[in-house]
C-alpha cells in the first residue's frame, strides 16, 4: 500500500471491499490537514477550537483551487464550457448536501452564507408570512444568539410571544417543561440539535413529535451536530434544518438551509435580484421555485464546491467512525481534566457531543486561554454567543475545548498539563 495514501483513500478502498481492515488511522487523517503541521511559539499546534470553526483537509483546499484554476465562471445560464462546468460542480454539491441529510430532493437545499443567515431567512420569510400577534415560538435556554435574535426581531414586528425551555444544572433539556409549554398557540419550535456551549444533545426526535402533535413546525440548528453524527431529516421528521460549512471541515461563507419543499415554495423570497426571478417587467416580477427562489445574486460558487468536498471527506471517513473516535477523546478529556485543581466542567448532560466547557476557580477564562496558547493549545474563551447559558450558571465566560475528527488523547494531555501550569502560575 502506498504510504502516501490519505485517510479518504483508505476509507474508500475499505468500502470497495479491499482485503484489509480499515481502522481509524488518526495519523493518516491528521496528514490530510496541512495546518496541523504548524508550530505555535515553537510548540506543535493543538487545535481544540473546532466548535468555532474546524480546519480544512487538503481535499477541500484542492477542490476549491481546482475550481479557480481550471473551470471557474459564474453559474447558471452560461452556454460556454467554463460556466457549464462550474454549474455542474455547484449543483453537484447541492446534490451531495441533499444526500448527506437524506433530503427528498436537492430542491430542498438552499445555499446561504451560513446558519445565521439560514435562521434569519426562515424567521423573516416563513415567520413574516405566517405568524400573527399572540402566536408563540419556543426556544431553549441553550440557543446560540443566532437562534434568539431573529425571533426577538420578529417579536417586535409581529407581537409574537417567545417561550424558553429551561435546562437543569447538568445542562439537560427539561423535556417535561417543554411539554407543558406547548399549546395551540405554538407555531414554531426552534431549538439547537447540539449546544455549542455545553455539548448537550437535545432529544430532538421527541421534541419534533410533540410539536407536530400541536400543529407546530420545528427548526433545528444543526451546526454542532453535523460534524459529529449522521443526520437524517426524513427520519427526524423536521421541517427546517440549518448548518454552516466551516464547522464541517468546509470553507467559510457557505451554509445550508434544508426545508420541506412545500414549505419553501409557499414562502416569499428573502432577498431579491438576479437568478431568483422567473420574469421581470416594470409592472410585475415572478419568482422561481426553491431552491433558486432564495438564492439571489451570484452565489458562493467555490465555497459550495468546497462544502461538497468536505461532505465527501467526512462521508469517506464515516460519521459513525468519527463519532466513536470523538466520544473516546471526550471521555478521556473529561477524566483527565479532573486532575486540574479547582476545575469545574460546565455542562455534564446525559448525552453530549465532543465539547467541554470549563472554568477554574480564581482564573478568568481569557487568562486561561492566553496561558494555554503559549503551549500551542487553541481553545475558545468567552460566552460562545450563548450569554443566557452563562447567566444560567452565574458565570461570565468559560474556556471551551471542542474536539474534531483529527484530535488525539495526546493533545488532551498537552491541554491538561498546560492547565495545571496555569493553576500554578496564577496561584
Residues annotated as catalytic (active site), given as ranges: 385
Q: In sequence order, what are the residues at sequence separation of 6 or more whose Cβ sits closer than 8 angstroms to the Cβ of residue 392?
A: 141, 167
Distance CA 134, CA 372 (A): 49
- How far CA 104 is from CA of 108, 155, 260, 334, in Å, comes to 7, 32, 8, 39
Distance CA 387, CA 366 (A): 16
Q: Which helix (H) or strand (E) holds 163?
A: strand 161-165
Distance CA 76, CA 55 (A): 30
Distance CA 129, CA 121 (A): 12
Phi and psi dihedrals of 372, rounded to 5? -70, -25
Core vs surface per residue 159-174: b (16+ CB within 10 A) or e:
ebeebbbebeeebbbe
Q: Is 265 left (phi over 0), alpha (psi -120 to 50) or beta?
A: alpha
Task: Name the nearest CA neighbour of 247 among 384, 370, 415.
Answer: 384
Task: Name the nearest CA neighbour of 150 among 292, 228, 307, 257.
Answer: 257
Please check whether residue 291 is in contact with residue 263, taking contact to mean a CB–CB distance below 8 angstroms. no
Q: Which helix (H) or strand (E) holds 151?
A: helix 149-158
- What are residue 277's DSSP bridge partners? 287
Distance CA 199, CA 50 (A): 12
The grid coordinates of residue 350 equal 446525559
Distance CA 224, CA 287 (A): 33
Residues recorded for the chain: 427
Count of other CB atoms within 10 angstroms of residue 35: 12
The DSSP code for 122 is I
Amino acid at each position: 500500500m502506498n504510504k502516501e495514501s490519505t485517510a479518504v483513500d483508505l476509507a474508500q478502498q475499505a468500502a470497495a471491499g479491499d482485503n484489509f481492515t480499515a481502522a481509524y488511522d488518526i495519523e493518516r487523517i491528521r496528514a490530510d490537514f496541512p495546518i496541523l503541521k504548524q508550530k505555535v511559539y515553537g510548540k506543535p499546534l493543538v487545535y481544540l477550537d473546532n466548535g468555532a470553526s474546524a480546519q480544512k483537509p487538503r481535499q477541500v483546499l484542492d477542490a476549491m483551487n481546482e475550481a479557480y484554476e481550471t473551470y471557474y465562471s459564474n453559474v447558471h445560464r452560461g452556454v460556454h464550457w467554463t460556466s457549464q462546468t462550474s454549474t455542474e460542480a455547484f449543483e453537484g454539491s447541492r446534490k451531495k448536501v441533499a444526500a448527506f441529510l437524506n433530503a427528498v430532493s436537492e430542491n430542498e437545499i438552499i445555499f446561504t452564507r451560513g446558519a445565521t443567515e439560514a435562521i434569519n431567512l426562515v424567521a423573516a420569510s416563513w415567520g413574516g408570512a405566517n405568524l400573527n400577534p399572540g402566536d408563540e415560538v419556543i426556544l431553549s435556554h441553550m440557543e446560540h444568539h443566532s437562534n434568539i435574535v431573529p425571533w426577538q426581531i420578529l417579536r417586535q414586528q409581529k407581537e409574537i410571544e417567545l417561550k424558553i425551555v429551561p435546562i437543569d444544572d447538568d445542562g439537560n433539556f427539561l423535556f417535561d417543561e417543554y411539554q407543558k409549554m406547548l399549546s395551540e398557540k405554538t407555531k414554531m419550535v426552534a431549538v439547537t440539535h447540539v449546544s455549542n456551549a455545553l455539548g448537550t444533545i437535545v432529544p430532538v426526535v421527541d421534541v419534533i413529535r410533540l410539536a407536530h402533535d400541536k400543529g407546530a413546525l420545528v427548526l433545528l440548528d444543526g451546526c454542532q451536530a453535523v460534524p459529529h453524527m449522521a443526520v437524517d431529516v426524513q427520519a427526524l421528521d423536521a421541517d427546517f434544518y440549518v448548518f454552516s460549512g466551516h464547522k464541517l471541515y468546509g470553507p467559510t461563507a457557505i451554509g445550508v438551509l434544508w426545508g420541506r419543499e412545500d414549505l419553501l415554495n409557499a414562502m416569499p423570497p428573502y432577498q431579491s435580484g438576479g437568478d431568483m426571478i422567473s420574469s421581470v417587467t416594470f409592472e410585475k416580477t415572478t419568482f422561481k421555485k426553491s431552491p433558486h427562489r432564495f438564492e439571489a445574486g451570484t452565489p458562493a460558487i467555490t465555497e459550495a464546491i468546497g462544502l461538497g468536498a468536505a461532505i465527501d471527506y467526512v462521508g469517506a471517513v464515516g460519521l459513525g467512525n468519527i463519532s466513536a473516535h470523538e466520544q473516546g477523546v471526550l471521555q478521556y478529556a473529561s477524566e483527565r481534566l479532573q486532575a486540574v485543581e479547582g476545575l469545574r466542567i460546565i455542562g455534564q448532560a446525559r448525552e453530549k457531543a465532543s465539547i467541554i466547557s470549563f472554568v477554574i476557580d480564581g482564573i478568568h477564562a481569557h487568562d486561561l486561554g492566553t496561558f494555554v496558547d503559549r503551549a500551542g493549545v487553541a481553545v475558545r474563551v468567552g460566552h460562545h454567543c450563548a450569554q443566557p447559558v452563562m447567566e444560567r450558571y452565574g458565570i461570565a465566560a468559560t474556556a471551551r475545548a471542542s474536539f474534531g475528527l483529527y484530535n488525539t488523547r495526546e493533545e488532551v494531555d498537552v491541554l491538561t498539563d498546560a492547565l495545571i501550569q496555569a493553576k500554578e502560575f496564577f496561584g
